[in-house]
Amino acid sequence: MRILGVEGTAWAASAAVHDTETESTFIETDAYQPDSGGIHPREAAEHMGDAIPAVIETALDEADGPIDAVAFSRGPGLGPCLRIVGTAARSLAQTLDVPLVGVNHMVAHLEIGRQRSGFDSPVCLNASGANAHVLGYRNGRYRVLGETMDTGVGNAIDKFTRHVGWTHPGGPKVEAAAKEGEYVDLPYVVKGMDFSFSGIMSAAKAASDDGTPVEDVCRGLEENVFAMLTEVAERALSLTDRDELVLGGGVGQNERLRSMLAEMCEQRGADFFAPEPRFLRDNAGMVAVLGAEMLRAGDTLAVGESAVDPDFRPDQVSVTWRDDADGTADDPDRADATPDAEEEVTGAEATVTVGTERVVKRRLPKSYRHPELDERLRRDRTVLEARLTSDARRAGVPTPVVYDVDPVEGVIEFERVGDADLRDGLTADRVRDVGRHLAAMHAAGLVHGDPTTRNVRVDGDLTYLIDFGLGYYTDDVEDYAMDLHVFDQSLAGTADDADRLRTAFEAAYAEGEAAAGGIGTADVTVLDQLREVEGRGRYQ
């Protein structure tokens, strides 16, 4: 079977033929190169209109036999580019009298890694120009476990390189310069499994303007941005109990990012896979490969249909080509409760020694991070965790008692609480408890920072919040909304009935917010702000 794939979401006009018998894939790409600045949507569309017919013709000439289906990227991407590609794909499918398959571009990035690695149900980190997110499969869809809260990682880097006068694309230029630079400290923003790049890019521009050598700024950018991506990938592995990670997206071609992810996975005992570069950058090969899987599942478009969606999120895709049981069953090796005997448990950020009455949390050095950055994060997070755990307790939230703190070594000794993680005992009553606890914290000006179903402990009577290392003090309603967003995402990644539990959680939070007479200084409620956060369209 031979599938013709067509890609044109933004800058790459690309066509490919994938032969399922030989597992060979021919790819022809004509990339748009702006004369200056970043991608101009009108110019990109003009390039797509000129280049798509030529790359399709080349791919067809290379096909060793008839085409059985045409697959194309329906989104996300630039609307004018998508419409050109959709029209071309529909016309070709009608001419050849073969099925038409509409592919989500970001799911294609994920699937090419999953299929070429042979992994069963990996977590996927997508790092591309306009996108950055972490995905995991559960109950027939790829769930967004974490994502950028402002701009894609590649676009963020390009904004810096444009500022210093470098041409597009900026990523390879930053990579080359960073190898000659010395590390400089820059902002590091991780909120649960979400991340933000606006602050670090503003700081990088300011540092360059103030005379810091550009190669040093590039080194700081790479070390911090890629450490953020690696940290959230590790958090996703820990949350979902997965031991396989795949990388997707054009930024994944960066050697430093791949080495960080590989080192993190090696330390965790997890497997890591990054496709070859031609399958990382935007390309029609991944579209053709996923198109073949969708065709086998009968997931095709109606005759004459080629509707595109510039905001097509990966979690909107019904995954028809996989066994619905994949990635949904509980891990048989997962401990449903903390054992009576002392045991060492490895989380995303620390190792915890669990005793019968006390637990000792050790933030061990992360070798993938630059030593200066790692030392700062370990120290600051240890201090904040101890303070916030105690302050949340004073606000009426059940938390462990803090017995001892050593910021230099990154060690905290706590009271042991709960019998199991919330992840292993999800009920509506318990998620309502979490909603009430977060409302109480927010009313006191505290943000948890990482309220996932692994950072809540439960027993027969109480629901405890733990792991405040990403928390902080604030009166900003946006920060409170981010806490709710993180918890919602963790439900999507770990619960079979996430929608029902999310409704219960948000209702309890609203009750707590009303009882407090409002939370934050804004005129909107935290839940209203949450809806705004969810609707920002970060996949454009």
The token pair that represents 437 in the structure block: 């606890």
Cα 51 to Cα 139: distance, rounded to the nearest angstrom: 39
Buried b / exposed e along 174-208 (16+ C-beta atoms within 10 A): bbebbeebebbebbbbbbbbbbbbeebbebbbebb
Q: Contact at 8 Å (CB) between 362 and 350?
A: yes
Nearest to 347 by CA among 236, 458, 470: 236
Side chain identity, residue 157: I
Q: Contact at 8 Å (CB) between 345 and 351?
A: yes
The token pair that represents 351 in the structure block: 């190792």
CA distances from 517 to 214, 276, 446 (A): 49, 55, 16
Spot the catalytic one: 282, 450, 483, 488.
450
Q: Find out whether the peptide bond into 76 is cis, omega within 30 degrees of 0.
A: yes
CA dihedral 479, 485, 489, 490 (to 10 degrees): 60
Q: Contact at 8 Å (CB) between 514 and 535?
A: no
Q: Does the annotation count 380 as an active-site position?
A: no
Q: How many CA atoms lie within 13 A of 67 on its CB side?
A: 31
Cα 50 to Cα 81: distance, rounded to the nearest angstrom: 11
Cα 343 to Cα 346: distance, rounded to the nearest angstrom: 10
Please enumerate in sequence order all residues whose Cβ is within 8 A of that of 216, keeping only pairs 6 or more positions apart, or say none: 181, 182, 183, 184
The token pair that represents 135 in the structure block: 């995905």
Radius of gyration of the chain, Cα coordinates, nearest whole angstrom:
24
Residue with tokens 């992810």: 261
Which DSSP category does 166 fall into? P
- Give φ, ψ of 434 to 5 degrees: -60, -40
Side chain identity, residue 307: A
Active-site residue list: 450
